[in-house]
Structure 1
Protein backbone atom coordinates (compact mmCIF):
# COMPACT_ATOMS: atom_id res chain seq x y z
CA UNK A 1 0.00 0.00 0.00
CA UNK A 2 1.39 3.37 -1.00
CA UNK A 3 1.81 6.18 1.47
CA UNK A 4 0.65 9.68 0.44
CA UNK A 5 4.26 10.78 0.02
CA UNK A 6 4.88 7.86 -2.35
CA UNK A 7 2.16 9.06 -4.72
CA UNK A 8 4.00 12.35 -5.22
CA UNK A 9 6.94 10.49 -6.75
CA UNK A 10 5.08 8.09 -9.04
CA UNK A 11 5.81 8.11 -12.76
CA UNK A 12 3.02 5.69 -13.66
CA UNK A 13 -0.48 5.41 -12.26
CA UNK A 14 -0.92 3.23 -9.17
CA UNK A 15 -3.00 0.08 -9.12
CA UNK A 16 -6.30 0.47 -7.31
CA UNK A 17 -5.20 -2.19 -4.81
CA UNK A 18 -2.15 -0.11 -3.88
CA UNK A 19 -4.15 2.91 -2.69
CA UNK A 20 -7.20 3.58 -0.56
CA UNK A 21 -9.48 6.44 0.40
CA UNK A 22 -7.47 7.45 3.47
CA UNK A 23 -4.30 7.63 1.36
CA UNK A 24 -5.98 9.96 -1.16
CA UNK A 25 -7.45 12.09 1.60
CA UNK A 26 -4.06 12.50 3.25
CA UNK A 27 -2.49 13.24 -0.15
CA UNK A 28 -5.07 16.01 -0.67
CA UNK A 29 -4.40 17.26 2.85
CA UNK A 30 -0.65 17.47 2.28
CA UNK A 31 -0.27 18.62 -1.32
CA UNK A 32 -3.44 20.50 -2.29
CA UNK A 33 -5.47 21.79 0.65
CA UNK A 34 -2.77 23.90 2.40
CA UNK A 35 -2.15 26.21 -0.55
CA UNK A 36 -3.54 29.08 -2.59
CA UNK A 37 -2.48 28.76 -6.22
CA UNK A 38 -2.12 32.07 -8.05
CA UNK A 39 -2.22 32.19 -11.86
CA UNK A 40 -2.00 34.69 -14.67
CA UNK A 41 -4.47 33.96 -17.44
CA UNK A 42 -3.93 35.65 -20.79
CA UNK A 43 -7.30 36.39 -22.37
CA UNK A 44 -6.84 38.30 -25.63
CA UNK A 45 -5.32 41.62 -24.53
CA UNK A 46 -6.19 41.23 -20.86
CA UNK A 47 -4.44 39.50 -17.99
CA UNK A 48 -6.75 37.88 -15.48
CA UNK A 49 -5.61 36.90 -11.99
CA UNK A 50 -6.93 33.57 -10.75
CA UNK A 51 -6.70 32.32 -7.16
CA UNK A 52 -7.42 28.61 -6.77
CA UNK A 53 -7.99 26.77 -3.49
CA UNK A 54 -8.69 23.13 -2.73
CA UNK A 55 -10.95 23.29 0.31
CA UNK A 56 -11.72 20.14 2.30
CA UNK A 57 -15.35 20.37 1.26
CA UNK A 58 -14.35 19.85 -2.40
CA UNK A 59 -12.68 16.48 -1.81
CA UNK A 60 -15.71 14.17 -1.92
CA UNK A 61 -17.17 15.94 -4.93
CA UNK A 62 -13.96 15.63 -6.94
CA UNK A 63 -13.85 11.87 -6.34
CA UNK A 64 -17.57 11.34 -6.95
CA UNK A 65 -18.16 9.79 -3.54
CA UNK A 66 -21.66 11.23 -3.25
CA UNK A 67 -22.60 9.61 -6.57
CA UNK A 68 -21.65 6.20 -5.16
CA UNK A 69 -23.68 6.71 -1.98
CA UNK A 70 -26.71 8.27 -3.68
CA UNK A 71 -29.71 5.89 -3.59
CA UNK A 72 -27.55 3.42 -1.60
CA UNK A 73 -27.92 5.10 1.80
CA UNK A 74 -30.93 6.77 3.44
CA UNK A 75 -31.35 10.38 2.36
CA UNK A 76 -30.72 11.59 5.90
CA UNK A 77 -27.26 9.96 5.79
CA UNK A 78 -26.20 11.28 2.38
CA UNK A 79 -24.54 14.32 3.95
CA UNK A 80 -21.85 11.93 5.23
CA UNK A 81 -20.61 11.48 1.67
CA UNK A 82 -20.30 15.09 0.54
CA UNK A 83 -18.88 18.44 1.60
CA UNK A 84 -17.24 19.01 4.98
CA UNK A 85 -19.41 16.34 6.57
CA UNK A 86 -18.06 13.83 4.07
CA UNK A 87 -14.48 14.85 4.77
CA UNK A 88 -15.01 14.41 8.52
CA UNK A 89 -16.92 11.15 8.08
CA UNK A 90 -14.03 9.59 6.14
CA UNK A 91 -11.67 10.64 8.92
CA UNK A 92 -13.91 9.47 11.73
CA UNK A 93 -15.04 6.12 10.34
CA UNK A 94 -11.93 5.17 8.36
CA UNK A 95 -14.12 4.72 5.27
CA UNK A 96 -12.44 2.53 2.65
CA UNK A 97 -12.85 1.55 -0.99
CA UNK A 98 -14.33 -1.77 0.08
CA UNK A 99 -17.09 0.13 1.90
CA UNK A 100 -17.87 2.18 -1.20
CA UNK A 101 -17.96 -1.00 -3.30
CA UNK A 102 -20.53 -2.47 -0.93
CA UNK A 103 -22.70 0.62 -1.35
CA UNK A 104 -22.70 0.52 -5.15
CA UNK A 105 -20.26 -1.73 -6.99
CA UNK A 106 -21.29 -0.49 -10.46
CA UNK A 107 -20.86 3.20 -9.62
CA UNK A 108 -17.55 2.48 -7.94
CA UNK A 109 -16.29 0.75 -11.06
CA UNK A 110 -17.49 3.62 -13.27
CA UNK A 111 -15.44 6.22 -11.40
CA UNK A 112 -12.49 4.05 -10.37
CA UNK A 113 -10.27 5.97 -12.80
CA UNK A 114 -10.70 9.08 -10.62
CA UNK A 115 -9.07 7.29 -7.71
CA UNK A 116 -6.22 5.94 -9.84
CA UNK A 117 -5.37 9.25 -11.52
CA UNK A 118 -5.97 11.47 -8.49
CA UNK A 119 -2.23 11.56 -7.79
CA UNK A 120 -1.73 13.73 -10.90
CA UNK A 121 -3.67 16.74 -9.60
CA UNK A 122 -0.64 18.56 -8.14
CA UNK A 123 1.17 18.15 -11.46
CA UNK A 124 -1.75 19.42 -13.51
CA UNK A 125 -1.99 22.63 -11.51
CA UNK A 126 1.78 23.26 -11.41
CA UNK A 127 2.14 23.62 -15.19
CA UNK A 128 -1.40 23.81 -16.52
CA UNK A 129 -2.51 23.39 -20.09
CA UNK A 130 -5.93 24.98 -20.30
CA UNK A 131 -8.97 26.02 -22.29
CA UNK A 132 -11.72 28.48 -21.55
CA UNK A 133 -14.64 26.10 -21.13
CA UNK A 134 -18.15 26.53 -22.48
CA UNK A 135 -20.38 23.47 -22.21
CA UNK A 136 -22.42 24.46 -25.28
CA UNK A 137 -19.29 23.84 -27.37
CA UNK A 138 -19.29 20.15 -26.46
CA UNK A 139 -21.02 17.67 -28.75
CA UNK A 140 -22.97 15.82 -27.46
CA UNK A 141 -24.02 18.45 -24.87
CA UNK A 142 -22.66 18.21 -21.34
CA UNK A 143 -23.73 19.50 -17.93
CA UNK A 144 -20.13 20.13 -16.86
CA UNK A 145 -19.98 23.49 -15.10
CA UNK A 146 -16.61 25.22 -15.01
CA UNK A 147 -14.88 28.37 -16.28
CA UNK A 148 -11.45 26.92 -17.06
CA UNK A 149 -10.53 23.34 -17.89
CA UNK A 150 -7.03 22.11 -17.11
CA UNK A 151 -5.95 18.88 -18.75
CA UNK A 152 -3.04 16.55 -19.34
CA UNK A 153 -2.45 13.32 -21.20
CA UNK A 154 -1.11 10.35 -19.27
CA UNK A 155 -0.61 6.94 -20.83
CA UNK A 156 -3.87 6.22 -22.68
CA UNK A 157 -6.02 8.73 -20.80
CA UNK A 158 -6.74 12.45 -20.69
CA UNK A 159 -7.20 13.81 -17.19
CA UNK A 160 -9.38 16.91 -16.80
CA UNK A 161 -9.75 19.33 -13.91
CA UNK A 162 -12.41 22.02 -14.21
CA UNK A 163 -12.28 25.11 -11.99
CA UNK A 164 -14.85 27.84 -11.44
CA UNK A 165 -14.96 31.07 -9.47
CA UNK A 166 -17.21 30.84 -6.43
CA UNK A 167 -18.97 34.19 -6.12
CA UNK A 168 -19.49 33.86 -2.38
CA UNK A 169 -15.96 32.76 -1.57
CA UNK A 170 -14.33 35.13 -4.06
CA UNK A 171 -11.84 32.56 -5.37
CA UNK A 172 -11.76 29.59 -7.75
CA UNK A 173 -12.51 26.09 -6.55
CA UNK A 174 -12.20 22.69 -8.27
CA UNK A 175 -15.61 21.87 -9.73
CA UNK A 176 -15.05 18.71 -11.74
CA UNK A 177 -12.46 16.00 -12.18
CA UNK A 178 -12.90 13.36 -14.85
CA UNK A 179 -10.96 10.96 -17.01
CA UNK A 180 -11.47 10.12 -20.69
CA UNK A 181 -9.75 7.38 -22.64
CA UNK A 182 -7.76 8.57 -25.64
CA UNK A 183 -9.80 7.77 -28.75
CA UNK A 184 -8.35 6.38 -31.98
CA UNK A 185 -8.78 9.74 -33.70
CA UNK A 186 -7.19 11.53 -30.75
CA UNK A 187 -10.13 13.94 -30.41
CA UNK A 188 -11.20 15.02 -26.92
CA UNK A 189 -14.71 16.47 -27.23
CA UNK A 190 -14.24 18.51 -24.03
CA UNK A 191 -11.21 20.34 -25.43
CA UNK A 192 -11.62 20.22 -29.22
CA UNK A 193 -13.93 23.21 -29.74
CA UNK A 194 -12.84 25.29 -26.77
CA UNK A 195 -10.69 28.42 -26.80
CA UNK A 196 -7.12 27.68 -25.74
CA UNK A 197 -5.73 30.07 -23.15
CA UNK A 198 -2.31 30.65 -21.65
CA UNK A 199 -2.22 29.99 -17.92
CA UNK A 200 0.98 30.44 -15.94
CA UNK A 201 1.40 29.79 -12.24
CA UNK A 202 2.56 32.94 -10.49
CA UNK A 203 2.79 31.74 -6.91
CA UNK A 204 1.84 29.08 -4.39
CA UNK A 205 0.97 30.56 -1.02
CA UNK A 206 0.77 28.54 2.16
CA UNK A 207 -2.46 29.12 4.06
CA UNK A 208 -1.95 30.13 7.67
Structure 2
Protein backbone atom coordinates (compact mmCIF):
# COMPACT_ATOMS: atom_id res chain seq x y z
CA UNK A 1 0.00 0.00 0.00
CA UNK A 2 1.18 3.49 -0.82
CA UNK A 3 1.69 5.89 2.03
CA UNK A 4 -0.63 8.80 2.68
CA UNK A 5 1.72 11.37 1.13
CA UNK A 6 1.63 9.42 -2.16
CA UNK A 7 -2.17 9.35 -2.05
CA UNK A 8 -2.21 13.06 -1.23
CA UNK A 9 0.00 13.81 -4.22
CA UNK A 10 -2.32 11.77 -6.46
CA UNK A 11 -5.33 13.64 -5.04
CA UNK A 12 -3.78 17.04 -5.72
CA UNK A 13 -2.51 16.20 -9.20
CA UNK A 14 -5.52 14.25 -10.48
CA UNK A 15 -8.60 15.53 -8.69
CA UNK A 16 -8.08 18.96 -7.09
CA UNK A 17 -8.16 22.33 -8.86
CA UNK A 18 -10.56 21.19 -11.56
CA UNK A 19 -14.26 20.91 -12.13
CA UNK A 20 -15.70 17.60 -13.32
CA UNK A 21 -18.78 18.82 -15.19
CA UNK A 22 -21.40 16.21 -16.03
CA UNK A 23 -24.10 17.18 -18.53
CA UNK A 24 -27.10 14.93 -18.09
CA UNK A 25 -29.65 13.93 -20.72
CA UNK A 26 -32.35 15.96 -18.91
CA UNK A 27 -30.27 19.16 -19.21
CA UNK A 28 -28.99 19.17 -15.63
CA UNK A 29 -25.37 20.18 -15.01
CA UNK A 30 -23.50 18.62 -12.10
CA UNK A 31 -20.17 20.21 -11.20
CA UNK A 32 -18.01 18.07 -8.93
CA UNK A 33 -15.17 19.72 -7.03
CA UNK A 34 -12.65 17.92 -4.82
CA UNK A 35 -11.57 19.99 -1.82
CA UNK A 36 -8.27 19.42 -0.04
CA UNK A 37 -10.09 19.58 3.31
CA UNK A 38 -12.15 16.51 2.30
CA UNK A 39 -9.15 14.27 1.55
CA UNK A 40 -8.85 12.66 5.00
CA UNK A 41 -12.59 12.07 5.17
CA UNK A 42 -12.61 10.35 1.78
CA UNK A 43 -9.84 8.06 3.03
CA UNK A 44 -11.95 7.23 6.10
CA UNK A 45 -9.40 8.47 8.64
CA UNK A 46 -12.24 9.58 10.96
CA UNK A 47 -13.15 5.89 11.42
CA UNK A 48 -9.65 5.18 12.70
CA UNK A 49 -8.76 8.16 14.87
CA UNK A 50 -12.14 9.38 16.20
CA UNK A 51 -10.31 12.71 16.59
CA UNK A 52 -11.01 15.89 14.63
CA UNK A 53 -7.32 16.84 14.69
CA UNK A 54 -6.73 14.21 12.00
CA UNK A 55 -9.36 15.33 9.48
CA UNK A 56 -10.01 18.48 7.48
CA UNK A 57 -7.20 20.95 6.91
CA UNK A 58 -5.37 19.80 10.08
CA UNK A 59 -5.23 16.22 8.87
CA UNK A 60 -4.22 17.33 5.40
CA UNK A 61 -1.27 19.29 6.80
CA UNK A 62 -0.28 16.42 9.12
CA UNK A 63 -0.05 14.14 6.09
CA UNK A 64 1.92 16.73 4.12
CA UNK A 65 4.43 17.10 6.97
CA UNK A 66 4.78 13.32 7.43
CA UNK A 67 3.29 13.36 10.94
CA UNK A 68 0.34 11.22 9.85
CA UNK A 69 1.21 8.02 7.98
CA UNK A 70 -0.29 4.59 7.32
CA UNK A 71 1.87 3.15 10.11
CA UNK A 72 0.66 5.87 12.51
CA UNK A 73 -2.94 5.03 11.70
CA UNK A 74 -2.33 1.30 12.15
CA UNK A 75 -0.76 1.92 15.54
CA UNK A 76 -3.71 4.11 16.63
CA UNK A 77 -6.43 1.58 15.82
CA UNK A 78 -5.59 -1.58 13.90
CA UNK A 79 -9.22 -2.73 13.70
CA UNK A 80 -10.40 0.68 12.48
CA UNK A 81 -7.62 0.72 9.92
CA UNK A 82 -8.74 -2.69 8.66
CA UNK A 83 -12.22 -1.31 7.98
CA UNK A 84 -10.94 1.44 5.65
CA UNK A 85 -7.91 -0.32 4.20
CA UNK A 86 -9.72 -0.98 0.89
CA UNK A 87 -10.46 2.74 0.50
CA UNK A 88 -6.80 3.58 0.81
CA UNK A 89 -5.57 0.74 -1.38
CA UNK A 90 -7.98 1.65 -4.16
CA UNK A 91 -8.02 5.42 -3.72
CA UNK A 92 -6.05 5.92 -6.97
CA UNK A 93 -9.03 4.50 -8.89
CA UNK A 94 -11.13 7.61 -8.22
CA UNK A 95 -9.84 9.42 -11.31
CA UNK A 96 -10.90 6.49 -13.52
CA UNK A 97 -14.21 6.30 -11.65
CA UNK A 98 -14.86 9.99 -12.36
CA UNK A 99 -14.31 9.49 -16.08
CA UNK A 100 -15.91 6.07 -16.61
CA UNK A 101 -18.32 5.46 -13.74
CA UNK A 102 -22.11 5.46 -13.90
CA UNK A 103 -24.03 8.28 -12.25
CA UNK A 104 -27.04 7.55 -10.05
CA UNK A 105 -29.49 9.76 -8.19
CA UNK A 106 -29.01 8.42 -4.68
CA UNK A 107 -31.92 7.79 -2.32
CA UNK A 108 -30.51 6.83 1.11
CA UNK A 109 -33.70 5.10 2.21
CA UNK A 110 -33.28 2.61 -0.65
CA UNK A 111 -29.83 1.58 0.61
CA UNK A 112 -30.95 0.02 3.85
CA UNK A 113 -29.69 1.53 7.05
CA UNK A 114 -27.09 3.91 5.66
CA UNK A 115 -26.22 7.22 7.27
CA UNK A 116 -24.90 8.58 3.97
CA UNK A 117 -26.95 11.62 3.00
CA UNK A 118 -25.78 12.09 -0.57
CA UNK A 119 -27.66 13.37 -3.62
CA UNK A 120 -25.72 11.49 -6.28
CA UNK A 121 -23.48 8.45 -6.47
CA UNK A 122 -20.83 7.62 -9.03
CA UNK A 123 -20.39 3.86 -9.25
CA UNK A 124 -18.15 1.50 -11.15
CA UNK A 125 -17.44 -2.20 -11.03
CA UNK A 126 -13.75 -2.79 -11.62
CA UNK A 127 -12.15 -6.26 -11.36
CA UNK A 128 -14.38 -7.59 -8.55
CA UNK A 129 -14.39 -4.18 -6.86
CA UNK A 130 -17.48 -2.04 -6.41
CA UNK A 131 -16.40 1.59 -6.22
CA UNK A 132 -18.79 4.20 -4.83
CA UNK A 133 -18.24 7.95 -4.63
CA UNK A 134 -21.08 9.80 -2.92
CA UNK A 135 -21.74 13.45 -3.80
CA UNK A 136 -23.49 16.08 -1.70
CA UNK A 137 -24.83 19.38 -2.99
CA UNK A 138 -22.99 22.46 -1.76
CA UNK A 139 -26.10 24.63 -1.44
CA UNK A 140 -29.73 24.48 -2.59
CA UNK A 141 -29.28 26.95 -5.47
CA UNK A 142 -25.96 25.62 -6.72
CA UNK A 143 -24.91 22.99 -9.25
CA UNK A 144 -21.75 22.28 -7.23
CA UNK A 145 -21.36 18.89 -5.60
CA UNK A 146 -18.53 17.72 -3.37
CA UNK A 147 -17.48 14.12 -2.78
CA UNK A 148 -18.46 13.23 0.77
CA UNK A 149 -17.71 9.53 1.02
CA UNK A 150 -15.77 6.90 -0.88
CA UNK A 151 -16.63 3.26 -0.27
CA UNK A 152 -15.03 0.21 -1.84
CA UNK A 153 -16.81 -3.13 -1.61
CA UNK A 154 -15.67 -6.46 -3.02
CA UNK A 155 -17.37 -9.60 -4.31
CA UNK A 156 -16.79 -11.10 -0.86
CA UNK A 157 -18.90 -8.47 0.91
CA UNK A 158 -22.42 -9.54 1.89
CA UNK A 159 -24.14 -7.16 -0.50
CA UNK A 160 -21.69 -5.45 -2.88
CA UNK A 161 -24.57 -3.87 -4.85
CA UNK A 162 -26.21 -2.41 -1.75
CA UNK A 163 -25.69 1.21 -2.76
CA UNK A 164 -26.85 0.95 -6.37
CA UNK A 165 -29.80 -1.43 -6.00
CA UNK A 166 -32.99 0.54 -6.59
CA UNK A 167 -31.18 3.79 -7.34
CA UNK A 168 -32.03 5.95 -10.33
CA UNK A 169 -29.47 5.77 -13.15
CA UNK A 170 -28.76 9.09 -14.88
CA UNK A 171 -27.58 9.25 -18.47
CA UNK A 172 -24.47 11.39 -18.84
CA UNK A 173 -24.25 13.05 -22.25
CA UNK A 174 -20.86 14.66 -21.71
CA UNK A 175 -18.13 14.94 -19.11
CA UNK A 176 -15.83 17.94 -19.24
CA UNK A 177 -12.83 18.28 -16.98
CA UNK A 178 -12.22 21.99 -16.61
CA UNK A 179 -9.40 23.83 -14.86
CA UNK A 180 -10.55 25.64 -11.75
CA UNK A 181 -10.56 29.32 -12.57
CA UNK A 182 -13.15 32.10 -12.55
CA UNK A 183 -13.93 31.78 -16.27
CA UNK A 184 -14.65 28.03 -16.37
CA UNK A 185 -15.70 27.41 -12.83
CA UNK A 186 -19.26 27.31 -11.79
CA UNK A 187 -21.89 29.30 -13.61
Q: Same fold (TM over 0.5)?
A: yes
CA deviations on 1:107-148 (whole Å, 9 max, x unpaired) are 001110001111110011112312110011123x21111111
Match of 2:94 in 1: 121
Segment of structure 1 superposing worse, 169-178 or 150-159: 169-178
Residues 200 and 118 (structure 1), Cα distance of their counterparts in 2 relative to 1, 3 Å cut: farther
2:154/2:160 contact within 8 Å kept: no
Q: Secondary structure at the match of 2:153?
A: strand
Match of 2:179 in 1: 206
Deviation for aligned residue 1:36 = 0.9
Q: Does residue 47 of structure 1 match 2:19?
A: no
2:59/2:68 contact within 8 Å kept: no
Which 4+ residue blocks in structure 1 deviate beyond 3 angstroms?
183-187
Q: Secondary structure at the match of 2:28?
A: strand
Question: Residue 8 of structure 2 is aligned with which of 15, 18, 25?
Answer: 25
Match of 2:184 in 1: none
Query: 1-side partners of 2:179 and 2:90: how far apart?
Result: 24
Match of 1:3 in 2: none
Residues 61 and 203 (structure 1), Cα distance of their counterparts in 2 relative to 1, 3 Å cut: same
Segment of structure 1 superposing worse, 186-195 or 117-126: 186-195
Residues 200 and 63 (structure 1), Cα distance of their counterparts in 2 relative to 1, 3 Å cut: farther
CA deviations on 1:33-79 (whole Å, 9 max, x unpaired) are 1211111123xxx3111111001011011001122111xxxxxxx33
Query: 2-side partners of 1:37 and 1:81: how far apart?
Result: 27
Tell me the C-alpha RMSD between the 2 structures.
2.1
CA deviations on 1:83-121 (whole Å, 9 max, x unpaired) are 112111211244210000011010001110001111110
In the alignment, structure 1 segments of 5+ residues that lack a partner are 1-15, 71-77
Segment of structure 1 superposing worse, 184-193 or 158-167: 184-193
Deviation for aligned residue 1:27 = 0.3
The count of aligned residue pairs is: 180
In the alignment, structure 2 segments of 5+ residues that lack a partner are 182-187
Question: Residue 144 of structure 1 is aligned with which of 85, 93, 116?
Answer: 116
